[in-house]
Amino acid sequence: MLKIGKLTDYGVLILSTLAEQPAVLRQTEGLAESTGLSLPTTRKVMKALTDAGLVQAQRGAKGGYRLARAASMISLRDVVEAFEGPIALTECTQDEHGCDITEQCSLADGWGGINQLLMQMLARVTLADVKDPTIVDRLTQGLMMGSPRISLVNL
Partner DNA sequence: ATAAAGCATACCAAGTTGGTATTCTTTAAT
Partner DNA sequence: ATTAAAGAATACCAACTTGGTATGCTTTAT
Q: Which residues bind DNA (CB under 7 A)?
A: 1, 5-7, 10, 26-29, 38, 40-41, 43-44, 46-47, 50-51, 57-65, 84, 100
Report what 135 binds from ligand SF4, a second copy, DNA, none; CB cut-off 5-8 Å by kind: a second copy
Query: Is residue 42 involved in binding a second copy (CB under 8 A)?
Result: no
Cβ contacts of 114 within 8 Å, gap of 6 or more: 89
Least distance (Å) between residue 9 CB and ligand SF4: 4
Query: What torsion, rounded to 10 degrees, do the Cα atoms 41, 121, 68, 30 define?
Result: -30
Answer for the pair 121, 139: CB distance below 8 angstroms, yes or no: yes
- Residue length, the chain? 155
Q: Which stretch binds ligand SF4 (CB under 6 A): 44-52, 76-84, 102-110, 139-147?
A: 102-110
